[in-house]
């Protein structure tokens, strides 16, 4: 900023905004001071101010109740602003390490599931399957997709069955089971269940439970599944009238239901 602009109206507004953002995300500030700064940013309403409000989601305050109340306040304020927050929200989704609150906000400020999925897809494109120092963001994206019933979800999630992080793979399994999209997910989940590359009992338990709950058949993978089936499950007896094992299903053992 040039010297001539330093004391202009725009310059004063910029300095005030920067101070309010700094105060709003300062965990050492008193809660009333942060709320005053957050209110000022809300009244400002510029994209930069809205982005500053979003940054409050990324700061953890030591006093848990105050922290939650402040975030709830910011959430409600941003919901009221509607589609005007989409630009700053997209920027924040790309840059933030934890995005649970912003994803909740996204659901509130767009009109359709398709718009939500399109935004999530853009974020996922920056977090492809593979190694990532902190996989938290991928897990949060998987969990968010789990709650959106739509044909586009399973194709987005399936590649993450090959992620290096067990937590991401578990979240991907949960999302696929939650979609209950049998044509898209049944065979890939079975192939993952029997794969030598998967060494997680937790993931096999999740897949087995999903198949038991959904009643999906095992088809030609029956024998391979049986070799790796966790103790809490069993494969239902073959139907003597059936010509093959295509109708076999995983069932929970009676003790596992209690």
Per-residue confidence (pLDDT) for residue 170, from 0 to 100: 98
What's the rounded Cα separation, in Å, for the pair 12 and 88?
A: 22
Where exactly are the structural domains of the chain?
A: 10-110, 130-258
Euclidean distance between CA atoms 204 and 229, whole angstroms? 8
At residue 239, the pLDDT reads 62
**231-246: pLDDT as tens digits:** 999 998 766 665 555 6
Mean pLDDT of 157-173: 98
Tell me the per-residue pLDDT of 34-84, one tens digit each, with 9 for 90 and over.
999 999 999 999 999 999 999 999 998 888 898 999 999 999 999 999 999
Q: 241, exposed or middle or buried, with CB in 10 Å at 0-12, 13-18, 19+?
A: exposed
Tokens of 95: 């840059």
Share of the chain above pLDDT 90, in %: 81
Say what the pTM is.
0.88
Q: In the predicted model, what is the mean pLDDT of residues 10-18?
A: 85
**Alpha-helix residue ranges (DSSP H) falling in the chain:** 3-6, 9-24, 31-44, 47-55, 64-81, 86-95, 100-109, 113-124, 136-146, 153-157, 166-179, 182-194, 201-214, 222-228
pLDDT at 5: 56
Give the separation between CA 43 and CA 31, rounded to whole angstroms: 18
In SS3 terms, 95-154 reads as: HCCCCHHHHHHHHHHCCCHHHHHHHHHHHHCCCCCCCCCCCHHHHHHHHHHHCCCCCCHH
Q: Is 62 exposed, middle or buried (0-12, 13-18, 19+ CB in 10 A)?
A: exposed
């Amino acid at each position: 900023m040039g010297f001539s602009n330093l004391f202009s109206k725009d310059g004063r507004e910029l300095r005030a905004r920067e101070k309010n953002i700094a105060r709003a995300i300062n965990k050492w500030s008193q809660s009333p001071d942060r709320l005053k700064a957050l209110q000022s940013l809300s009244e400002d309403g510029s994209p930069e101010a809205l982005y500053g409000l979003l940054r409050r989601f990324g700061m953890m305050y030591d006093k848990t109740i105050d922290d939650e109340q402040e975030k709830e306040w910011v959430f409600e304020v941003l919901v009221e602003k509607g589609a005007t927050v989409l630009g700053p929200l997209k920027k924040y989704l790309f840059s933030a390490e934890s995005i649970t609150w912003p994803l909740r906000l996204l659901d509130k400020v767009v009109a359709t599931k398709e718009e939500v999925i399109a935004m999530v897809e853009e974020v996922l494109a920056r977090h492809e399957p593979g190694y990532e120092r902190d996989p938290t963001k991928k897990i949060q994206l998987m969990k968010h997709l789990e709650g959106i019933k739509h044909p586009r979800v399973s194709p987005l999630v399936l590649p993450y069955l090959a992620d290096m992080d067990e937590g991401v793979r578990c979240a991907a399994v949960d999302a696929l089971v939650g979609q209950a999209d049998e044509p898209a997910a049944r065979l890939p989940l079975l192939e993952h269940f029997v794969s030598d590359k998967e060494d997680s009992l937790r993931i096999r338990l999740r897949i087995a439970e999903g198949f038991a709950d959904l009643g999906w058949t095992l088809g030609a993978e029956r024998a391979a599944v049986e070799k790796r089936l966790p103790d809490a499950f069993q494969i239902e007896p073959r139907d003597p009238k059936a010509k093959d094992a295509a109708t076999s299903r995983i069932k929970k053992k009676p003790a596992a239901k209690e």
